[in-house]
Amino acid sequence: MSLNLICFFLCALIAPDLTDEDALLSAPQNISILSTNMKHYLTWSPVVVQGETVTYSVEFQGEYEREHVNESWIPICECSLITATMCNITEDISASVAYNLRVRADAGARRSEWGTLKGFFNRITTSLTPPLMKVIADGYHLLVELQDMGPAFQFCVLYWKKGQESRMQQKMVKEVSSVIHLDTMEAGPDYCVKAQTYVEVINRSSSFSQTQCVRAQDGRSMWLVTALISSAVFVVAALTLTFLTLKTSKIFQYSCCPAAVLPETLKVSEPPTKLILHSSEEVEQCDLMVQVMPSEEAVRLWFQETL
Ligand SMILES: *[C@@H]1O[C@H](CO)[C@@H](O)[C@H](O)[C@H]1NC(C)=O
Ligand SMILES: *[C@@H]1O[C@H](CO)[C@@H](O)[C@H](O)[C@H]1NC(C)=O
Ligand SMILES: *[C@@H]1O[C@H](CO)[C@@H](O)[C@H](O)[C@H]1NC(C)=O
Ligand SMILES: *[C@@H]1O[C@H](CO)[C@@H](O)[C@H](O)[C@H]1NC(C)=O
Protein backbone atom coordinates (compact mmCIF):
# COMPACT_ATOMS: atom_id res chain seq x y z
CA MET A 1 0.00 0.00 0.00
CA SER A 2 2.75 2.46 0.99
CA LEU A 3 4.65 1.51 -2.16
CA ASN A 4 1.53 2.23 -4.14
CA LEU A 5 1.18 5.61 -2.45
CA ILE A 6 4.78 6.53 -3.29
CA CYS A 7 4.13 5.35 -6.80
CA PHE A 8 1.02 7.47 -6.94
CA PHE A 9 3.04 10.63 -6.38
CA LEU A 10 5.88 9.51 -8.66
CA CYS A 11 3.46 8.69 -11.40
CA ALA A 12 1.76 12.01 -10.92
CA LEU A 13 5.13 13.71 -11.45
CA ILE A 14 6.23 11.57 -14.38
CA ALA A 15 2.94 11.45 -16.22
CA PRO A 16 2.51 14.28 -18.70
CA ASP A 17 -0.14 16.86 -17.98
CA LEU A 18 -3.49 16.53 -19.61
CA THR A 19 -3.71 18.30 -22.94
CA ASP A 20 -6.61 19.45 -25.06
CA GLU A 21 -5.86 16.62 -27.46
CA ASP A 22 -6.55 13.81 -24.98
CA ALA A 23 -9.83 12.91 -26.62
CA LEU A 24 -7.98 12.04 -29.83
CA LEU A 25 -6.70 8.78 -28.40
CA SER A 26 -9.26 6.04 -28.02
CA ALA A 27 -9.43 4.24 -24.69
CA PRO A 28 -8.09 0.68 -24.52
CA GLN A 29 -10.75 -1.95 -25.26
CA ASN A 30 -11.39 -5.59 -24.54
CA ILE A 31 -10.14 -5.17 -21.00
CA SER A 32 -10.22 -8.49 -19.24
CA ILE A 33 -8.67 -10.55 -16.46
CA LEU A 34 -6.67 -13.74 -16.81
CA SER A 35 -6.49 -15.46 -13.46
CA THR A 36 -5.06 -18.93 -12.90
CA ASN A 37 -3.75 -20.42 -9.67
CA MET A 38 -3.93 -17.08 -7.82
CA LYS A 39 -1.84 -15.27 -10.42
CA HIS A 40 -3.83 -12.42 -11.92
CA TYR A 41 -3.22 -10.42 -15.10
CA LEU A 42 -5.10 -7.56 -16.66
CA THR A 43 -5.06 -7.57 -20.47
CA TRP A 44 -6.37 -5.23 -23.14
CA SER A 45 -6.28 -4.73 -26.88
CA PRO A 46 -3.56 -2.40 -28.14
CA VAL A 47 -4.35 1.16 -29.14
CA VAL A 48 -2.65 1.75 -32.48
CA VAL A 49 -1.31 5.20 -33.37
CA GLN A 50 0.64 5.44 -36.64
CA GLY A 51 4.31 6.32 -36.10
CA GLU A 52 4.04 6.62 -32.34
CA THR A 53 4.78 4.43 -29.38
CA VAL A 54 1.73 3.96 -27.22
CA THR A 55 2.17 3.37 -23.49
CA TYR A 56 -0.38 2.25 -20.93
CA SER A 57 -1.02 2.89 -17.26
CA VAL A 58 -3.16 0.79 -14.93
CA GLU A 59 -5.01 1.68 -11.73
CA PHE A 60 -7.11 -0.35 -9.35
CA GLN A 61 -9.78 0.28 -6.78
CA GLY A 62 -10.58 -2.12 -4.00
CA GLU A 63 -13.63 -2.24 -1.79
CA TYR A 64 -11.92 -0.02 0.77
CA GLU A 65 -11.01 2.74 -1.69
CA ARG A 66 -14.46 2.56 -3.23
CA GLU A 67 -16.39 2.81 0.00
CA HIS A 68 -14.15 4.78 2.31
CA VAL A 69 -11.69 6.86 0.27
CA ASN A 70 -13.98 8.80 -2.08
CA GLU A 71 -13.79 6.19 -4.80
CA SER A 72 -10.10 6.88 -5.25
CA TRP A 73 -7.90 4.82 -7.60
CA ILE A 74 -4.44 3.49 -6.85
CA PRO A 75 -1.87 3.40 -9.67
CA ILE A 76 0.05 0.17 -10.16
CA CYS A 77 3.66 1.28 -10.22
CA GLU A 78 4.94 -1.67 -12.30
CA CYS A 79 2.30 -0.89 -14.89
CA SER A 80 2.80 2.85 -15.38
CA LEU A 81 3.63 3.98 -18.93
CA ILE A 82 4.39 0.44 -20.08
CA THR A 83 4.37 -0.68 -23.72
CA ALA A 84 3.04 -4.18 -22.96
CA THR A 85 -0.71 -4.79 -23.16
CA MET A 86 -0.71 -6.91 -20.01
CA CYS A 87 -0.21 -6.05 -16.35
CA ASN A 88 0.64 -8.47 -13.53
CA ILE A 89 -1.80 -7.36 -10.81
CA THR A 90 -1.13 -10.35 -8.49
CA GLU A 91 0.54 -8.25 -5.77
CA ASP A 92 -2.24 -5.65 -5.76
CA ILE A 93 -5.13 -8.08 -5.42
CA SER A 94 -4.43 -8.75 -1.77
CA ALA A 95 -7.91 -9.54 -0.45
CA SER A 96 -10.88 -11.61 -1.52
CA VAL A 97 -13.02 -8.57 -2.33
CA ALA A 98 -14.38 -7.00 -5.50
CA TYR A 99 -11.76 -4.98 -7.38
CA ASN A 100 -12.26 -2.56 -10.19
CA LEU A 101 -9.52 -1.95 -12.73
CA ARG A 102 -8.88 0.63 -15.42
CA VAL A 103 -6.27 1.38 -18.04
CA ARG A 104 -5.50 4.33 -20.28
CA ALA A 105 -3.18 4.96 -23.20
CA ASP A 106 -0.55 7.67 -23.79
CA ALA A 107 1.11 8.54 -27.08
CA GLY A 108 3.41 11.54 -27.03
CA ALA A 109 1.41 14.42 -25.61
CA ARG A 110 -1.90 12.70 -26.22
CA ARG A 111 -3.80 10.68 -23.70
CA SER A 112 -6.92 8.52 -23.79
CA GLU A 113 -9.89 8.25 -21.47
CA TRP A 114 -9.81 5.47 -18.95
CA GLY A 115 -11.05 2.17 -20.20
CA THR A 116 -12.63 0.27 -17.33
CA LEU A 117 -13.07 -3.44 -16.71
CA LYS A 118 -16.70 -4.46 -17.11
CA GLY A 119 -17.84 -5.67 -13.73
CA PHE A 120 -15.59 -6.44 -10.79
CA PHE A 121 -12.84 -8.94 -10.31
CA ASN A 122 -12.70 -11.10 -7.19
CA ARG A 123 -9.78 -13.49 -6.78
CA ILE A 124 -12.10 -16.24 -5.55
CA THR A 125 -12.94 -16.74 -9.24
CA THR A 126 -9.36 -17.72 -10.10
CA SER A 127 -9.19 -20.98 -11.98
CA LEU A 128 -7.33 -23.65 -10.03
CA THR A 129 -5.53 -26.45 -11.86
CA PRO A 130 -4.87 -29.88 -10.36
CA PRO A 131 -1.26 -30.31 -9.22
CA LEU A 132 1.37 -32.01 -11.33
CA MET A 133 2.31 -35.09 -9.37
CA LYS A 134 4.51 -38.16 -9.63
CA VAL A 135 3.71 -41.31 -7.68
CA ILE A 136 6.72 -43.42 -6.78
CA ALA A 137 7.07 -46.94 -5.37
CA ASP A 138 10.33 -47.11 -3.46
CA GLY A 139 10.46 -50.70 -2.29
CA TYR A 140 7.38 -50.95 -0.04
CA HIS A 141 7.06 -47.17 0.35
CA LEU A 142 4.34 -45.26 -1.43
CA LEU A 143 5.69 -41.79 -2.20
CA VAL A 144 4.32 -38.76 -4.01
CA GLU A 145 6.11 -35.78 -5.48
CA LEU A 146 4.01 -32.63 -5.91
CA GLN A 147 4.61 -29.50 -7.93
CA ASP A 148 5.46 -26.50 -5.73
CA MET A 149 2.81 -23.92 -6.63
CA GLY A 150 3.71 -21.34 -4.01
CA PRO A 151 3.03 -20.71 -0.32
CA ALA A 152 -0.74 -20.19 -0.71
CA PHE A 153 -1.19 -23.73 -1.98
CA GLN A 154 -1.98 -26.86 -0.03
CA PHE A 155 -2.71 -30.28 -1.41
CA CYS A 156 -5.29 -32.84 -0.54
CA VAL A 157 -3.86 -36.25 -1.44
CA LEU A 158 -6.12 -39.31 -1.59
CA TYR A 159 -4.67 -42.81 -1.77
CA TRP A 160 -6.12 -46.31 -1.67
CA LYS A 161 -5.49 -49.93 -2.40
CA LYS A 162 -6.96 -50.72 -5.83
CA GLY A 163 -10.36 -52.37 -5.45
CA GLN A 164 -10.83 -50.83 -2.00
CA GLU A 165 -11.90 -47.35 -3.03
CA SER A 166 -14.30 -47.20 -0.08
CA ARG A 167 -11.31 -47.27 2.28
CA MET A 168 -9.68 -44.22 0.76
CA GLN A 169 -7.17 -42.41 2.94
CA GLN A 170 -6.50 -38.69 2.95
CA LYS A 171 -3.46 -36.57 3.66
CA MET A 172 -3.31 -32.77 3.71
CA VAL A 173 0.05 -31.51 2.54
CA LYS A 174 0.67 -27.93 3.66
CA GLU A 175 4.26 -27.56 2.60
CA VAL A 176 5.77 -29.18 -0.42
CA SER A 177 9.14 -30.50 0.70
CA SER A 178 10.49 -32.72 -2.07
CA VAL A 179 8.95 -36.19 -1.69
CA ILE A 180 6.06 -37.07 0.65
CA HIS A 181 5.68 -40.49 2.24
CA LEU A 182 2.07 -41.68 2.13
CA ASP A 183 1.98 -45.31 3.17
CA THR A 184 3.74 -48.63 3.46
CA MET A 185 2.46 -51.02 0.82
CA GLU A 186 1.76 -54.72 0.87
CA ALA A 187 3.29 -56.77 -1.92
CA GLY A 188 0.84 -57.55 -4.72
CA PRO A 189 -1.98 -55.01 -5.16
CA ASP A 190 -1.77 -51.67 -6.95
CA TYR A 191 -1.91 -48.54 -4.84
CA CYS A 192 -3.51 -45.49 -6.42
CA VAL A 193 -3.08 -41.78 -5.73
CA LYS A 194 -4.82 -38.58 -6.81
CA ALA A 195 -4.49 -35.04 -5.54
CA GLN A 196 -6.16 -31.65 -5.66
CA THR A 197 -4.87 -28.20 -4.79
CA TYR A 198 -6.52 -26.22 -2.02
CA VAL A 199 -6.17 -22.50 -1.43
CA GLU A 200 -7.15 -21.58 2.11
CA VAL A 201 -7.59 -17.80 1.61
CA ILE A 202 -10.35 -18.41 -0.91
CA ASN A 203 -11.52 -21.72 0.58
CA ARG A 204 -11.48 -23.36 -2.84
CA SER A 205 -10.11 -26.55 -4.33
CA SER A 206 -9.13 -27.57 -7.84
CA SER A 207 -10.43 -30.69 -9.49
CA PHE A 208 -8.48 -33.89 -8.90
CA SER A 209 -5.42 -34.87 -10.89
CA GLN A 210 -5.48 -38.06 -12.95
CA THR A 211 -5.13 -41.15 -10.79
CA GLN A 212 -1.73 -42.80 -10.84
CA CYS A 213 -1.18 -46.35 -9.59
CA VAL A 214 1.98 -48.19 -8.58
CA ARG A 215 2.88 -51.55 -7.08
CA ALA A 216 5.38 -52.44 -4.35
CA GLN A 217 8.75 -53.38 -5.72
CA ASP A 218 10.68 -55.56 -3.30
CA GLY A 219 14.20 -54.41 -3.96
CA ARG A 220 15.75 -57.15 -1.80
CA SER A 221 13.87 -60.10 -3.31
CA MET A 222 14.44 -58.68 -6.79
CA TRP A 223 18.14 -58.72 -6.03
CA LEU A 224 17.88 -62.26 -4.70
CA VAL A 225 16.02 -63.45 -7.79
CA THR A 226 18.61 -61.84 -10.03
CA ALA A 227 21.42 -63.43 -8.02
CA LEU A 228 19.76 -66.86 -8.12
CA ILE A 229 19.12 -66.70 -11.84
CA SER A 230 22.67 -65.61 -12.60
CA SER A 231 24.20 -68.32 -10.43
CA ALA A 232 21.94 -70.93 -12.04
CA VAL A 233 23.01 -69.73 -15.47
CA PHE A 234 26.63 -69.90 -14.35
CA VAL A 235 26.30 -73.46 -13.04
CA VAL A 236 24.56 -74.64 -16.22
CA ALA A 237 27.21 -72.96 -18.35
CA ALA A 238 30.03 -74.52 -16.29
CA LEU A 239 28.44 -77.97 -16.50
CA THR A 240 27.88 -77.68 -20.25
CA LEU A 241 31.47 -76.55 -20.75
CA THR A 242 32.86 -79.42 -18.69
CA PHE A 243 30.67 -81.92 -20.52
CA LEU A 244 31.70 -80.53 -23.91
CA THR A 245 35.39 -80.56 -22.93
CA LEU A 246 35.16 -84.18 -21.84
CA LYS A 247 33.27 -85.13 -24.99
CA THR A 248 35.75 -83.29 -27.21
CA SER A 249 38.80 -84.81 -25.52
CA LYS A 250 37.23 -88.28 -25.85
CA ILE A 251 36.64 -87.67 -29.58
CA PHE A 252 40.24 -86.50 -29.99
CA GLN A 253 41.51 -89.43 -28.02
CA TYR A 254 39.63 -91.87 -30.23
CA SER A 255 40.45 -90.17 -33.53
CA CYS A 256 44.11 -89.32 -32.91
CA CYS A 257 45.27 -91.88 -30.43
CA PRO A 258 43.19 -94.97 -30.78
CA ALA A 259 43.76 -97.20 -27.85
CA ALA A 260 44.60 -100.12 -30.02
CA VAL A 261 45.80 -103.23 -28.32
CA LEU A 262 49.38 -103.73 -29.27
CA PRO A 263 50.93 -107.14 -29.58
CA GLU A 264 53.08 -108.10 -26.60
CA THR A 265 56.28 -107.88 -28.62
CA LEU A 266 55.66 -104.30 -29.59
CA LYS A 267 55.11 -103.21 -26.02
CA VAL A 268 58.12 -101.09 -25.19
CA SER A 269 58.83 -100.24 -21.64
CA GLU A 270 58.17 -96.55 -21.28
CA PRO A 271 60.42 -95.74 -18.34
CA PRO A 272 63.53 -94.54 -20.26
CA THR A 273 61.43 -92.10 -22.31
CA LYS A 274 59.77 -90.82 -19.19
CA LEU A 275 63.08 -90.41 -17.53
CA ILE A 276 64.46 -88.53 -20.47
CA LEU A 277 61.48 -86.25 -20.40
CA HIS A 278 62.00 -85.80 -16.71
CA SER A 279 65.63 -84.88 -17.13
CA SER A 280 64.89 -82.60 -20.04
CA GLU A 281 62.52 -80.75 -17.76
CA GLU A 282 65.31 -80.34 -15.29
CA VAL A 283 67.55 -79.10 -18.06
CA GLU A 284 64.95 -76.51 -18.98
CA GLN A 285 64.73 -75.36 -15.43
CA CYS A 286 68.44 -75.22 -14.81
CA ASP A 287 70.33 -74.62 -18.01
CA LEU A 288 73.77 -74.97 -16.46
CA MET A 289 73.23 -78.49 -15.15
CA VAL A 290 73.27 -80.28 -18.43
CA GLN A 291 73.65 -83.97 -17.75
CA VAL A 292 74.09 -86.59 -20.31
CA MET A 293 73.49 -90.03 -18.88
CA PRO A 294 74.24 -93.37 -20.41
CA SER A 295 71.09 -95.31 -21.03
CA GLU A 296 71.97 -98.09 -18.54
CA GLU A 297 72.56 -95.51 -15.83
CA ALA A 298 69.25 -93.91 -16.71
CA VAL A 299 67.34 -97.14 -16.30
CA ARG A 300 68.96 -97.72 -12.95
CA LEU A 301 68.06 -94.19 -11.80
CA TRP A 302 64.50 -94.62 -12.98
CA PHE A 303 64.10 -97.72 -10.88
CA GLN A 304 65.56 -95.92 -7.90
CA GLU A 305 63.21 -93.02 -8.34
CA THR A 306 60.01 -94.96 -8.94
CA LEU A 307 60.48 -97.67 -6.38
C1 LIG B 1 -11.57 -6.90 -29.10
O2 LIG B 1 -11.62 -8.32 -29.24
C3 LIG B 1 -12.33 -8.76 -30.38
C4 LIG B 1 -12.39 -10.25 -30.33
O5 LIG B 1 -11.33 -10.80 -29.63
C6 LIG B 1 -11.67 -8.24 -31.65
O7 LIG B 1 -12.40 -8.66 -32.77
C8 LIG B 1 -11.60 -6.74 -31.61
O9 LIG B 1 -10.87 -6.26 -32.71
C10 LIG B 1 -10.90 -6.29 -30.32
N11 LIG B 1 -10.93 -4.84 -30.21
C12 LIG B 1 -9.84 -4.07 -30.36
C13 LIG B 1 -10.02 -2.63 -30.22
O14 LIG B 1 -8.74 -4.54 -30.61
C1 LIG C 1 -13.96 13.10 -0.24
O2 LIG C 1 -14.79 13.97 -0.97
C3 LIG C 1 -15.36 14.99 -0.18
C4 LIG C 1 -16.31 15.80 -1.02
O5 LIG C 1 -16.28 15.45 -2.35
C6 LIG C 1 -14.25 15.86 0.41
O7 LIG C 1 -14.82 16.84 1.23
C8 LIG C 1 -13.30 14.98 1.18
O9 LIG C 1 -12.20 15.75 1.64
C10 LIG C 1 -12.79 13.86 0.35
N11 LIG C 1 -12.00 12.95 1.16
C12 LIG C 1 -10.85 12.44 0.76
C13 LIG C 1 -10.18 11.50 1.71
O14 LIG C 1 -10.36 12.68 -0.33
C1 LIG D 1 3.31 -11.99 -11.34
O2 LIG D 1 3.52 -11.59 -10.01
C3 LIG D 1 3.58 -12.64 -9.08
C4 LIG D 1 3.70 -12.05 -7.69
O5 LIG D 1 4.75 -11.14 -7.62
C6 LIG D 1 4.74 -13.54 -9.43
O7 LIG D 1 4.80 -14.62 -8.53
C8 LIG D 1 4.59 -14.05 -10.85
O9 LIG D 1 5.69 -14.82 -11.21
C10 LIG D 1 4.43 -12.89 -11.81
N11 LIG D 1 4.15 -13.42 -13.12
C12 LIG D 1 4.95 -13.21 -14.15
C13 LIG D 1 4.55 -13.82 -15.45
O14 LIG D 1 5.99 -12.58 -14.06
C1 LIG E 1 -15.19 -23.64 2.97
O2 LIG E 1 -16.16 -24.08 2.05
C3 LIG E 1 -16.92 -25.20 2.50
C4 LIG E 1 -17.89 -25.55 1.42
O5 LIG E 1 -17.22 -25.65 0.17
C6 LIG E 1 -17.66 -24.85 3.78
O7 LIG E 1 -18.34 -25.95 4.25
C8 LIG E 1 -16.64 -24.37 4.83
O9 LIG E 1 -17.32 -23.96 5.98
C10 LIG E 1 -15.81 -23.26 4.28
N11 LIG E 1 -14.77 -22.90 5.23
C12 LIG E 1 -14.49 -21.67 5.59
C13 LIG E 1 -13.41 -21.48 6.57
O14 LIG E 1 -15.09 -20.72 5.10
**Range 36-60 average pLDDT:** 96
Report the pLDDT averaged over residues 225-237: 65
The pLDDT assigned to 70 comes to 87
- Choosing from 67, 70, 73, 74 the residue with most ligand 2 atoms within 8 A of its CB, the one to mutate for a pocket test is 70
* Among 77-81, 176-180, 198-202, 276-280, the least confident range: 276-280
Q: What is the residue with the minimal CA distance to atom 1 of ligand 3?
A: 88
The closest-lying atom of ligand 2 relative to the alpha carbon of residue 72 is 14
Q: Can you spell out the DSSP letters for the chain?
A: -HHHHHHHHHHHHHSPPP-GGGGGBPPPEEEEEEEETTEEEEEEEPPP-TTS--EEEEEEE-HHHHHHSTT--EE-GGGSSBSSSEEE-TTT--SSS-BEEEEEEEETTEEBPPEE-SS-B-GGGPBPPPPPEEEEEETTEEEEEE----TTEEEEEEEEETT-GGG-EEEEE-S--SEEEEEEPPSSSEEEEEEEEEEGGGTEE-PPPPPEEEE---HHHHHHHHHHHHHHHHHHHHHHHHHHHHHHHHHHHHHHS--PPPPGGG----HHHHHHHHHHHHHHH-TT------HHHHHHHHHHHH-
Of residues 273 and 183, which shows the higher confidence score? 183
* pLDDT, mean of residues 175-196: 91
What digits encode the pLDDT tens for the residues 130-184?
999 999 999 999 999 999 999 899 999 999 999 999 999 999 999 887 799 999 9
Alpha carbon nearest to ligand 1 atom 14, residue: 45
d(CA 120, CA 61): 10
29 pocket-lining for ligand 1 (C-beta < 6 Å): yes
Nearest C-alpha neighbor of 101 from the set 12, 31, 4: 31
Query: From CA 174, how far away is CA 149, in angstroms rounded?
Result: 11
Adjacency order of strands within the sheet including 86-88: 29-36, 39-45, 86-88
170 CB neighbour count, 10 Å cutoff: 9
Name the pLDDT band for 298 (thresholds 50, 70, 90): low
Q: Is the pTM of this model over 0.95?
A: no
Average pLDDT, the chain: 80
Which ligand number lies closest to the CA of residue 48?
1
Q: Which atom of ligand 3 is nearest to the CA of 88?
A: 1
> How far away, in angstroms, is 119 Cα from ligand 4 center?
25
